Chains A and B, each alone.
Chain A
Amino acid sequence: MTLVTFSLKNVHYSIDVTFVEEVIPLPAITPVAKLPSFFCGVINLRGCAVPIIELRKWLDLEVACHELSNDIIVIKVDKKIMGLIVDKVLSVVDIQDHQIIPPPTMHEDIDIKYISGVVQLDSRLSMLIDLEEILNMADRSLACIDLKLSEISS
């Protein structure tokens, strides 16, 4: 399978390339009221409003200020398009399935249900993110406020 790797707070993560539409530099983000805190706002991508998710919030990482060098990975899951803010998109790599190892279980108290596995890439470990789980969580959060991602998208 093919993975797109990126970095967040010096930690490498990766996602399946099949969900990825494209990668773009960070554009101007328009904030939207009443949205949960992991939604930054929306951007204008070739005429379409695309909601942007702050991935660091989801991964319980400290939220730093956004930098101009940050990238956005545009993904499409179940025909829903959204953007993820990452520090930097690193590469597109091909891996074998056996290279994927299960996530660590040392600290049970840590919520790692968004990590589907760990991949060894060039002497560094890259954590494989389960995008479907993340999108479900987002949908649930939005349901609390009677909103759906598709509505925002429209």
Chain B
Amino acid sequence: MITLLVIMGEGHRKNTTLLANIEEGYFPALQMSQELQEILTLTQRGFEDAVSFADEIILKINDKQRDAFLSRITRENNNPVVDRDVLNAISEEFQEYYTLTRDTTQKMITGSTEEQLFEDLRRMATARTMISERLKEGVKIRQEKMADVLSKTRKEYQTGLAIFLFATCVALAIMGIVSIWMVKTLSKPLDKLTAAARQIAKGDLTLNVPVESDDELGQLATSFNLMMGSFRGIMQGIRDAGLQINISASEINLGANQQAEGAAEQSSTVTEVSTTIEELSQTAGRIAENAQDVAQSAEETLKGMKGIKTNVDLVTKKILALGEKSQSIGNITKLIDEMSDRINLLALNAAIEAARAGEAGRGFAVVAAEVGKLAERSVESTSDIRQLIHEIQSEMNATIMSVEETTKWSDKGLEMVSDTAQVVKEISVATQQQKSAAEQVVEAMSDIDRVTRSFATTTKQTALNAKRLTELSTQLKSDISDFNLGATS
């Protein structure tokens, strides 16, 4: 195999070298020959154009073609397949040709017709043909060389391909043999493991796989046995936990049921308390209403009492006015008394006059006496009137005193009613507060009731869940009993 690969490598290296020669040597050389041919043609055409137009500037431009020709040759100096001497020879020949042709062309432009000119033209053509031939020969040599190299390369390639195909076939054959051997070696212990896994799937966890070797398969069997040990432990743990869960769930169920019963009882008690407090609140509300009624009545009484007081004041004023009037009457009686005095005096004077007149005044004396009597009677009458006025005034004073007493009592009554109204208002406020407090208690009790109900619901749910848990643990127990855990169970 290695020998074959070395041979293949050698062939490949040879091919690479040959192709590099074509790429770096023959092909650029061929290209150069063709390019030089083209430049040569262009140079010739430039001279012809200079002659045709009789222009020396075109000659000068044509010098650039010469430079291009020479620089192209210089570029191929490093080409490994080109002979340096040949390149130099072509360079010299071209320079010779160019100098000759330029001179000749110069002469033709200046219109010289000497004999030498035709000779020069002929030499010129010969030189150009020689260069052209040399270039064509170079092209031919290069093409032949390239064809030779290509045929060599093909040959090398075919040889390499044949070797490669052979080596591949041999390798495939070896790999097939090795594979069959390896499969035969590995399948036996794997079959045993598969059988053990099947047994486990059926629920037998007591199985142990025998360890026959010390390789990867042996390690696999050991690990398998270890895994089975852990698995057995886990399954036993699960079974024990299941039993424990079953017991606990039963206990939870019992407890939750008891809690639910307790919550229901509490809820009914709370409802009773709520009802009682609501009744209390209603009673307080009624008391508040009654107290408000009483307060209103007290207000009205107060108003009435105030009215009475006003009226009493009015009566007192009127009585006092009457007293003043009676006083005026007294004054009038005094006036009458004075007048009576005067009249009496006049009567006396008349009587005196009548007495002095003697017998003639006798009739007049009687009249005077009558007038005097009248005056006396009027004095008596005014005395009676004074007496009456005195009685009236004393009665009035007694009345005013009793009225004042009444006013005093009514003031006291007013005060008491006002106090009552105040107290009743306080009662009303207090009962209102009591009512609102009772309402708050009712609200709080309702909250408690709600919480208790929700608690009852939750505990019922818990009981249900515990029951479900019991069922699940029973299920788990029956599921686990499918597994054969050996003597440890």
- A contact set with B: CB distance below 8 Å: 2, 4, 17-18, 20, 22-25, 69, 71, 89, 91-92, 94
Contacts and interface: CB of A to CB of B under 8 A. Distances in A.
User: What band does the interface of chain B fall in when counting residues whose beta carbon is under 8 Å from A?
Assistant: 10 to 19
A2 B369 CA distance: 14
Interface in B330-351: 341-342, 345, 348-349, 351
Contacts of B369: 92
Given A91-B372, A92-B365, A22 B352 contact: yes
Contacts of B365: 92
7 contacts: A4-B352, A17-B352, A23-B352, A25-B345, A71-B345, A91-B351, A91-B372
The 10 closest A-B pairs by CB, nearest first: A92-B351, A2-B355, A17-B355, A22-B349, A23-B348, A20-B352, A89-B348, A23-B345, A23-B349, A17-B352
Interface string B284-313: 000000000000000000000000000000
B22 interface: no
Nearest to B358: A2
Interface of B is mostly: helix
A89 B348 CA distance: 8
Nearest to A2: B355
Contact of B348 (A2, A18, A91, A94): A91
Interface of B: 341-342, 345, 348-349, 351-352, 354-356, 365, 368-369, 372
A18 B369 CA distance: 18
A61 B369 CA distance: 31
B377 to A, nearest CB: 15
Given A18-B356, A22-B352, 14 more contacts: A4-B348, A17-B355, A17-B356, A23-B345, A23-B348, A23-B349, A23-B352, A24-B345, A25-B345, A89-B345, A91-B348, A92-B348, A92-B368, A92-B369
Nearest to B345: A23
A2 B357 CA distance: 11
A146 to B, nearest CB: 34
Contacts of A2: 355
* Best-surrounded residue of A17, A71, A92, A94 (most CB of chain B within 10 A): A92
A2 to B, nearest CB: 4
Contacts of A89: 345, 348
B341 A25 contact: yes
Contacts of B354: 92
A92 B341 contact: no
A38 B369 CA distance: 33
Contacts of A25: 341-342, 345
Nearest to B350: A92
Contacts of A20: 352, 356
B351 to A, nearest CB: 4
B355 A92 contact: yes
Nearest to A20: B352
Contacts of B345: 23-25, 71, 89
A90 B46 CA distance: 204
* Best-surrounded residue of B352, B365, B372 (most CB of chain A within 10 A): B352
Nearest to A1: B355
* Best-surrounded residue of B341, B349, B356, B368 (most CB of chain A within 10 A): B349
B342 A92 contact: no
A113 to B, nearest CB: 26
A81 to B, nearest CB: 15
Contacts of A69: 341
A32 to B, nearest CB: 26
A122 B365 CA distance: 19
A104 to B, nearest CB: 27
A118 to B, nearest CB: 21
A4 B345 CA distance: 12
Contacts of A94: 355
A92 B355 CA distance: 8
Contacts of B341: 25, 69
Contacts of A18: 356
B383 to A, nearest CB: 14
A33 B356 CA distance: 36
Contacts of A17: 352, 355-356
Nearest to A4: B352
Nearest to A92: B351
Contacts of B348: 4, 23, 89, 91-92
A69 B341 CA distance: 8
A23 B368 CA distance: 14
A92 B369 CA distance: 8
B108 to A, nearest CB: 199
A119 to B, nearest CB: 15
* Best-surrounded residue of B355, B356, B365, B368 (most CB of chain A within 10 A): B355
A18 B352 CA distance: 8
B458 to A, nearest CB: 117
A67 to B, nearest CB: 12
B348 to A, nearest CB: 5
A68 to B, nearest CB: 9
Contacts of B368: 92
Contacts of B372: 91
A25 B355 CA distance: 21
A25 B338 CA distance: 11
Nearest to B372: A91
